[in-house]
Amino acid sequence: MRAALEEAGWPARVLVACSGGPDSLALAAAVAHYARRGAVRGKGGGSHPLEAGAVVVDHQLQEGSGEVARATAHVLAGLGLSPVRVVTVEVQQAGEGPEAAARIARHEALAAEAEASGAGAVLLGHTLDDQAEQVLLGIARGSGPRALGAMRRVRGLLLRPFLGLRRADTLDVCVAEGLDPWFDPTNEDPRFMRSRVRSAIMPFLEAELGPGVAEGLARTAALLGADADWLDEEARRTYAGLAEFGSSDTEVTPGGGEVTLPIDALRALPPALRGRVLALAVTDLGGQTTFERLGAVERLLERRGSAGPVEVPGHVSAYRAAQGRLVLVSHR
């Protein structure tokens, strides 16, 4: 807990995101205990009390979800967290699937609650087991190092103090604190890939390969995450030095309009950087990056003369123009 707060800059106020499950309930108990201890060291060596509230997000995806949310809020208040808010969200059933849609809705709600309450961080109860499952899912989907780097202990507003703990440890905390957690039935529902990874694939790997599989996958995430951070930063610096925004007859700024990149400079980049620079150009224009479409954009670099356009999701197209320029345009 202390390491996560220190990495986040010692926020004076935090919110715990709690579903009522064992992981987030154990986290809530730990945060409440930490807050009761009084002053904690802050930036510059000073100290301040840690104020801790909680948010329960009701996704309305299961019958009785409102009752579970209200019961969880009652438990959190009993732990001493204040204020405790129940927030109801509407999950848009589209895009990448119900899990991704629920996560987007949840994170938007948590960010709004943090802003409204003045909280400097939102604490999530993800464990080492969640990290290992995320790496396996990334491998199955053919994801790159950013996705395989999985979750970070601190990313922006979000803190995950329990990434070094096993799921069984959080159950032990609940038992020790006399807490009765709620077990989400979707965690055992074979219709969801993550549920199959949790209930079938991970136990199979542990049985066949021996103990330590989850820890090994979590180490993989840490190593790949560090590499991805460095590559992403290098790509941002390279992109900033190469990109020109707008054209001779258009005044635009980053975030929309047109991006031009020199083809010779792009071709001279290592592939790991080149792909990231192209992805930054696409996202800068509001587009969505996919492996197949980014590959099609990159193949324009090998053509001669004018070529394209290549369409990218999010109303972005790319074409090879005269004078050795790659041009990406938003059509919003």
Dihedral through CA 97, CA 100, CA 104, CA 106, nearest 10? Answer: 110
How far apart are the C-alpha atoms of 9 and 121, rounded to whole Å? Answer: 10
How far apart are the C-alpha atoms of 272 and 266, rounded to whole Å? Answer: 11
How far apart are the C-alpha atoms of 51 and 14, rounded to whole Å? Answer: 6
Asked whether 136 and 217 are in contact (CB, 8 A), the reply is: yes
Sign of CA dihedral 188, 192, 194, 199: positive
Give SS3 for 57: strand
Asked whether 313 and 288 are in contact (CB, 8 A), the reply is: yes
Please report, in range form, the residues annotated as the binding site for ATP.
19-24
Q: What single-letter amino acid sits at 216?
A: G
Please report, in range form, the residues annotated as the binding site.
19-24
Mark out the alpha helices in 165-212 (DSSP H runs). 167-177, 193-196, 202-209
How far apart are the C-alpha atoms of 126 and 137, rounded to whole Å? Answer: 15
Mark out the alpha helices in 149-287 (DSSP H runs). 167-177, 193-196, 202-209, 213-242, 263-268, 271-284
